Amino acid sequence: MSLWVDKYRPNSLTKLDYHKAQALHLKNMVQQGDFPHLLVYGPSGAGKKTRIFCLLRELYGPGVERLRLEHMNIQTPSNKKIDITTVSSNYHLEVNPSDAGFHDRVVIQELIKTVAQTHQLDPSGQREFKVVVICEADCLTKDAQHALRRTMEKYVATCRIILVANTISRVIPAIRSRCLGVRVGAPNKEEIINILQSVCRKEGLSLPNELAERIAVQSNGNLRRAILFLETCKVQQYPFQPDQKVASHDWEIYLKDTAKMIVLEQSPQKLLQIRSRLYELMIHGIPSEIIFKGLLQELVKNCDMQLKTQIVEKAAFFEHRIHLGSKPIIHLEAFVASFMAIYKKFMEATVADLF
Amino acid sequence: MSHDIRSYFPPKAGSEAKGKCKEMKVNVERRHRKRQLVCIDSDSDEDILPSQVKKHERKSGISVSCVRGVTQKNSKSISKPELKPIDVADVFGNSQIKRTASKKDEVKKVMKNVTPQLENLHSDSEFVGTLQELDERKNFCKKENEITPVKEKQKHALHTSEFSKSALDSYKIPRNAMKETPNKTDIKLLAQKEESRDKETTSLISQPETSPDLPKKIKGNEYLSTENGTQQEKAVRSPASVKRCDISSDEDVYERKRQHAMQYQRYLQREGPKNPGGKEVPQGRPGCLSGLVFVVTGVLETIDREETSSLIKQCGGRVTSSVSRNTNYLVVGEEPGPAKIEKAAKLNTPHLTEDELFALIRARSCLPDTERLSKDSEEVIKKDEKIKHKDNLSRNDITHGTRIETSKSIKKNIKKEETEMPVLEKQDISLSPPSARNTTFQRHSLWADKYKPVSTKHIIGQQGDRSNVKKLIKWLQSWHSNHSGKKKLVRPSPWAKDETGSYFKAALLSGPPGVGKTTTAHLVCEELGFDVVEFNASDTRSKKLLHEEVSELLNNKSLSGYFQGAAGRKPTENHVLIMDEVDGMAGNEDRGGMQELIQLIKSSRVPVICMCNDRHHPKIRSLTNYCFDLQFSRPSVKQIGGAMMSICFKEGIKMSPETLNDIITGTNHDVRQVLHHLSVWSVKDKQLSFENIKEESLKAKKDVKLGPWDVVKKVFSADVHKSMSIHDKSDLFFHDYSLGPLFVQENYLGVMPHKSRNNRKRHLELVAQTAESLSSGDMVEKTIRSKSAWSLLPAQAIFSSVLPGDLLEGHFTCQINFPAWLGKNSRRSKFQRLLQELHGHMRLNISGSKEAVNLDYMTHLRDAISGPLIKDGVDGVPATLHVMQDYYLLREDIDSLMELSLWPNQKDPMSLVDSKVKAALTHRFNKGGIMTPYSIVKIKNSASKSSQDLEFDGDEQDVGEEEEEEEGITRDAMIKVKKRNTTTQNPAPGRSGAKRRKVDNKEVRKKNDKHERK
């Protein structure tokens, strides 16, 4: 009894629901028998992995569905042992080097190189090359990306690499130029609604359009999220009501509450409380970018235009610093502190104007 | 009879009778007259030899050591005092300072004995001045190298056995006048003494106590032996009691009552004796105090109360706790109990001081006042000339038999003063090897060795009743009775205060360097008669070595027990293993040493004493479970100061107490360090000017590493900033540059900046600026760490410490916290690890990344798993199992899923699930098994095992075994899983998922049926 999101995942390029032109394009490319390295990028929940899986199936046939998990042990030059889990079929290998933290370079060098160096056992079977799927390519360190460069060129005869990334801004240009970029954009509202409706049809349920639309809006272009919301709604209440409440994620609520607290009171003591809440968010593994975004969106709602520019500027400044620094909490806190200072000043000025 | 004989043999060449000689003679005369006669025969025989030696010395002027060598060769019987190399030293004039110091001290002692009450009257400078004068005078005398008529008289007096009291007095005055400069106080003393003597004609016992004069004392003692006891007692009693009564009547009763509470506090805090071992405690004849009842109050000067009462009991007296009619004496020390004094005054109970008590014991057991004797003899020795020596030698030979006894008693005195009196030390050479060793030390050794405490009583800050030393002694004493296997010992709770440590086979002394841990351990062992086997950081202490060498050694039996035939002591009893500096057991050399040490302690048959600096070190922590924990703290400035002042005095360094205190605080209460500093200065200059001292004491400031708490306090404190340059401020950062910024970041919000003056807007602005600066600091830190750009540290210092401090300088309004970041970060990485594991398991069925699992799946998955259980109870179990099967989740994954998806102020959904249902789920899961496409068994086991090894490294084995058992159970379950996996021919999960599900369903159904039938 999988969740719907996994149950109704399309498994061939033709069955894809949106970006159909692109799907066709890919299909044509595969049918020629060869394709360059790919860099698939797009926001989370847009269907990148799904698309890649469909592509692989198109390429190798149903054999790619025979997946297995493998644990690999790699030793770093400093004698540290790294465990890496890979998902592989006979034709492809999927790996997430950033699981190894900043030792990802070793993973690239050892693992991918060995795979790339070996030829397919029976070339008569399907293709002459294997495919290596590297997840979260934008999280690779610069070292790892540089290590990848040469491998990509040298073993192009035996191996194709598909990089999956949320954004290409963190992928070095050298890699970008070696790949064919495939952007998988998030589905728009109508597309999401259609998909939700089709899921409900397959489940034998009837979904009011209003609810579907609300879910689509709340999912913010993330199809995975939308389908998960739908299922939650079903668990909560069926038959659906058009005005049914769509429960958002716990972390979103928590983040919003935090933002509200900031607007409510500005003082060092409050900042201390905010800090502990921010810590809580970080502990739960919410990426700092998302925290930043969530905070900013909530905070600017209470500001006039002039203040907005100031605050957005501050946010951009500290968000950039998160990537330069090592402890995100410091920068988040600095942002909150500057917001508090600006906001307090603004409020006092307006209060003074009033009287 | 003997007197007659002696008068036939007048001393040779006008030689003076030496103190030693005199004292010997007196002893002999008093005790065994016959024996003395025999001795005198030998006198004439050996007479020549010593004189030759003396000649030698005079002619060639060979060094002291040479002379010493000769004398040593000669025989034991050649007594030491005569060999005083002081004369030689005098010739060279090198050791002048030392000699004067010793002299001073000696004189001081004498004076102390004379008038304990009056001592307080002397102001320090006056006193020292007098002493100096004395020294000069003495030196002068020595150089003159001639016999004064007075001395001749003195000598003469010795040989006549009877002399009238008036003769004594008349004799005493000129001697005093010669010896001590006409000082006001001295004269006063003398006058007083004489007065008292005149008053009480029979008070012969008090005379030896009050007069520093040798002949008179001898006389007194002689008298004593013939005198009858009751008379003496009266004599003692009368003057003292009169005085005390006056004092107590003067005191205002009300005021005392008011101070009562305060006094009680003081009583609780009071220390041990001030000058332990400072005087010789008389070994009274048993029964000499029989019938007398004593009450002890206050702290005596040289012995503590227990010792006092045991001394009295030894002598047959009784000690009671409160004053009653039956009480004969009240022994009064410092800070006496006012109630006792009062009551004693009411009942007219006489008071005794410590000295008076000793005197009483001596008197009643007919002992000579050896202390006085020896001291006086020393004085005379020093003053008198070489001819005297010769004569003395011969005499000493004569009285050899009795001499040893007295010299032993002298030795005790010397022990205390040995460092300051090289002369006397040489006396010991022939008698006791240990002190000989000390002598060789003394010239060239560090002060830290030179002034090493020689008994446990001298250890600074360890004199109290509950001190670590006392605890250690008790522990060591009772070790063998505790661990003989007969007693059943209970492990004390780690929080309860453990006074005896009887459970433990080892003791762990921990504390900062230079407070005397090693010294304590060695001295305690020495005093209790244990042989010490020591391993310290200079020895390799690997597991192998410890196992081979030490364990062998601990099973050895010391043969000394057999040789000495020590009664009642098991041969193995008397050694102790000392593991010094156990925190230094590190690196490849000593690998596994700590483990082995713990094993060793467990099986040890001898006490083990371990020492370390930091007992909270992770390595030591495992050891502390097996050790009686004794923590040494730094002694207070006062405690160190007292001891250091006396050393300064001995070494002739002039230093004000304030400066000394500066040094002590500067060195962070490290006694050894203080000694080093003093010794360096003593080489440079004996008398430092005030400026010099100031300057030097600044230098003495040990670079004390501040703890991060202190650092952060200083960073934000406005007061401290006034006297700091920017360099000082950035230095604060460098105390701990990894932890410091975290502390600043954690605590900057608790500071109330003085700049803002309660303006909240301004305050917030400052906070914002600070936060921004901290964020810059973090950037710099990242650069430093990732690019090894350590030269950027000063920049980080500015951003992370100096700027925040400047912006927010003020005061803390709340307590300083430990950085939460560390804890939060480790929790974060734990969550990440769980998440990664979860993602790894789910990976085949989902397309999302780890992040997506966290952000999107988490809540829904949790609901999908816990929902059926909450709603349907046991019936919901299959539904839950299906979800788990689809996502290849294990039972443990549910727990981590719950943990990951739980937010503050939320309820754990699993807590809503009935525990029965949970048990059913677990049971069903283990029975039915879930086929996973990944191999759990190997990875899990190896991972948990390795973590176990790390975690339980050095911990109890029991825990480890338990864990292993548990693991065994799960392993069984896993094996089943594996079997099923293989039976299904390892199909691709994607394709055969449905098939397998069917199988599972069947099984579940079967089980359900079974369940229902039951």
Helix (H, G, I), strand (E, B) or coil at B612: strand
Asked if the Cβ–Cβ distance from B843 to A69 is below 8 Å, we say yes
What mean pLDDT comes out for the span B134-148? 50
Residues B652 and B791 in one domain: no
B610 and B501 in a common domain: yes
- Which residues from chain A sit within 8 angstroms of residue B768, using beta carbons? 334, 337-338, 340-342
- Chain centroid to Cα B30, Å, comes to 45
> Does residue B166 sit within a domain?
no
Q: Which two three-digit tokens encode residue B931? A: 């086929």
Structure tokens at B385: 């000339």
Q: Report the chain B residue with the minimal C-alpha distance to residue A45.
A: B848
Residue B853 tokens read as 């699992």
- Mean of all residue pLDDT scores within chain A: 87
How far apart, in whole angstroms, are the C-alpha atoms of residue B19 and residue B26?
10
Q: A85 and B840 in contact by Cβ < 8 A?
A: yes
According to DSSP, the β-strands at A68-75 and B293-297 are unpaired
Q: A338 contacts in B (CB within 8 Å)? A: 768, 771-772
- Check residues A14 and B8 and name the one with the higher pLDDT: A14
Q: Which of B678, B700, B722 is the last residue of a domain?
A: B700
Q: Which of A237, A274, A283, A319 to mutate to test the interface with B (most CBs of B within 10 A)?
A: A283
| Chain A CB contacts of B818 below 8 Å | none
Residue range B756-768: mean pLDDT, rounded: 87
Domain positions in chain A are 4-183, 189-236, 250-348
Nearest neighbour of A271 by CB, restricted to B767, B821, B906: B767
A·B CB contacts under 8 A: 196
Residue that wins the pLDDT comparison between B775 and B9: B775
| Record: contact B772-A68, CB cut-off 8 A | no
Contacts of A126 (CB under 8 A, 6+ apart): A59, A60, A61, A63, A91, A120
Angle at B293 between CA B290 and CA B294, to 5 degrees: 120
How far from each other are the two terminal CA atoms of chain A, in whole angstroms?
64
Beta bridge partners, A72, equal A84
For residue A314, the chain B residue with the least C-alpha distance is B772
Give residue B164's pLDDT. 43
Are B665 and B794 contained in the same domain? Answer: no
CB-count burial class (<10 Å; 0-12, 13-18, 19+) for A42: buried
Q: Do B798 and B872 sit in the same domain of this protein?
A: no
Residues of chain A contacting B990 with CB distance shorter than 8 Å:
65-67
Q: Report the range of poorest mean pLDDT among A87-91, B702-706, B751-755, B927-931.
A: B702-706
pLDDT in tens, B265-274: 666 566 556 6
Query: According to the model, what pLDDT value does residue B563 have?
Result: 55
Map residue B791 onto helix, strand or coil.
helix
Angle, alpha carbons B316-B322-B326 (nearest 5°): 60
B851 contacts in chain A (CB < 8 Å): 44, 285, 287
Q: Is the pLDDT of residue B897 over 70?
A: yes
- State the pLDDT confidence band at B428, using cuts at 50, 70 and 90: very low
Q: Examine the domain organization and report whether B736 and B861 are in the same domain.
A: no
Domain boundary among B653, B682, B700: B700
Q: Are both B863 and B1000 inside the same structural domain? A: yes
Statement to judge: residues B496 and B594 lie in one domain:
yes
Residues B471 and B596 in one domain: yes
Comparing A4-183 with A250-348, is the CATH topology the same?
A: no
Q: Which of B739, B769, B779, B944 to probe the A interface (max A CBs under 10 A)?
A: B779
- Residue A41's pLDDT is 93
Flag if A53 and B847 touch (Cβ within 8 Å). yes
Distance of CA A212 to the CA centre of its chain: 23
Band of the pLDDT at B961, cuts 50, 70, 90? Answer: very low
Residue A319: its pLDDT value, please? 92
User: Residue B6 pLDDT more than 60?
Assistant: no
Rounded Cα distance between A8 and A199, Å, is 7
Of A83-92, A322-331, B786-795, minimum mean pLDDT range: A83-92
Instruction: Give pLDDT, residue B251.
Output: 56
Whether B933 has its CB under 8 Å from any CB of chain A: the answer is: yes
Indicate whether B562 and B482 sit together in one domain.
yes
**Exposure of A94 in the CB half-sphere (CA atoms within 13 A):** 23
pLDDT band, very low/low/confident/very high, at A238 (cuts 50, 70, 90)? confident
A38 near A163, Cβ under 8 Å?
A: yes
Q: Which of B767, B843, B861 sits opposite A268 (nearest CB)?
A: B767
C-beta atoms of B761 and A345 within 8 A: yes
Which residue from A1, A251, A348 is facing B761, i.e. has the nearest CB? A348
Between B985 and A212, the more confident residue is: A212
Span B185-207, average pLDDT:
46
Average pLDDT, chain B: 65
The yes-or-no verdict on residue A266 having pLDDT over 70 is yes
B855 at interface of A, judged by CB pairs closer than 8 A: yes
Q: Between chains, do B836 and A99 touch, taking CB under 8 Å as contact?
A: yes
Chain B residue with the nearest C-alpha to that of A325? B779
Count of structural domains within chain B:
4
Whether residues B867 and A235 touch (CB distance < 8 A) is answered with yes
Q: What is the mean pLDDT of residues B469-493?
A: 78
Statement: residue B749 has pLDDT above 60: yes
Q: Summarize pLDDT for B442-454 with one digit per residue, the tens.
A: 455 677 788 888 8
The answer to whether residue A225 scores a pLDDT higher than 70 is yes
| Ranges A127-141, B9-23, B751-765: which has the least confidence | B9-23
pLDDT at B551 over 70: no
Provide, as residue numbers in chain B, all residues whose Cβ is less than 8 Å from the Cβ of A288: none
Contact: B903, A235; criterion CB under 8 Å: no
pLDDT number for residue A163? 93
Determine the topology of domain A4-183 in CATH.
Answer: Rossmann fold (3.40.50)
Mean pLDDT of B723-730: 86
Is the pLDDT confidence value at B427 over 50?
A: no
Domain boundary among B673, B700, B727: B700
How far does A118 lie from chain B, in Å, by closest CA? 24
Max mean pLDDT among A162-171, B99-108, B161-170, B287-296 falls in A162-171
CB contact residues (below 8 A), chain B span 753-812, against chain A = 760-761, 763-765, 767-768, 770-772, 774-779, 781-782, 785
Do B762 and B867 sit in the same domain of this protein? no
DSSP characters over B674-735: HHHHHHHHHHH-SB--HHHHHHHHHHH---PPPPHHHHHHHHHBHHHHTT--HHHHHHHHTT
At residue B8 the predicted structure's pLDDT band, cuts being 50, 70 and 90, is: low
Could you tell me the two tokens for B414? 């010397």
Q: Label residue B464 by pLDDT band (50, 70, 90).
A: confident
Q: Name the most confidently modeled range: A111-120, A312-321, B832-841.
A: A312-321
Q: What is the 3-state secondary structure (H, E, C) of B57-115?
A: HHHHCCCHHHHHHHHHHHCCCCCCHHHCCHHHHHHHCCCHHHHHHHHHHHHHHHHHHHC
Say if residue B628's pLDDT is above 70: yes
- We report the CATH number of the domain holding residue B747 as 1.20.272.10
Compute the distance between CA of residue B335 and CA of residue B889 in angstroms, rounded to an integer.
Answer: 76
Phi first, then psi: what are they for A235, rounded to 5°? -65, -40
Q: How many angstroms away from the CA of B583 is the closest CA of chain A?
A: 27
Asked if the model's pLDDT at residue B220 lies above 70, the reply is: no
Which SS3 state, helix, strand or coil, does residue B629 take? strand
Measure A215 CA to nearest chain B CA, in Å: 14
If phi over 0 gives left and psi between -120 and 50 gives alpha, with beta otherwise, what is residue A298? alpha
Give the mean pLDDT of B323-342: 78
Which pLDDT score is estimated for A291?
A: 92
Give pLDDT, residue B564: 52
B325 and chain A: CB distance < 8 Å anywhere? Answer: no
Residues of A in contact with B777 (CB under 8 A): 330
Q: Are A328 and A288 in contact (CB under 8 A)?
A: yes
Average pLDDT over residues B693-702: 60
Residues of B with CB below 8 A from A8's CB?
none
Q: Which residues 863-892 of B have a C-beta within 8 angstroms of A? A: 863-864, 867, 879, 882-883, 886-887
Q: Residue B13 and residue B387: Cα distance in Å, rounded?
A: 7
Of residues B771, B847, B860, nearest to A228 (C-beta) = B860
In a mutagenesis test of the A interface, which of B746, B770, B778 is the best target, namely the one with the most A β-carbons within 10 Å?
B778
If pLDDT is split at 50, 70 and 90, which confidence band does B202 have? very low
| Strand-pair partners of A159 | A130
Domain spanning A250-348: CATH 3.40.50.720: no
CATH number of the domain to which B651 belongs: 1.10.8.60
ipTM field: 0.90
990-1009 in chain B: CB under 8 A from chain A:
990-991
* pLDDT tier, A318 (very low <50, low <70, confident <90, very high otherwise): very high
- Cβ–Cβ of B835/A333 closer than 8 Å? no
Give the tens place of pLDDT for each residue, B366-383.
655 444 444 444 444 444
pLDDT at B866: 85
Asked if A271 lies within 8 A of B749 by C-beta distance, the reply is yes
Same domain membership, residue B478 and residue B605: yes
Q: Which domain holds residue B756?
A: 708-818
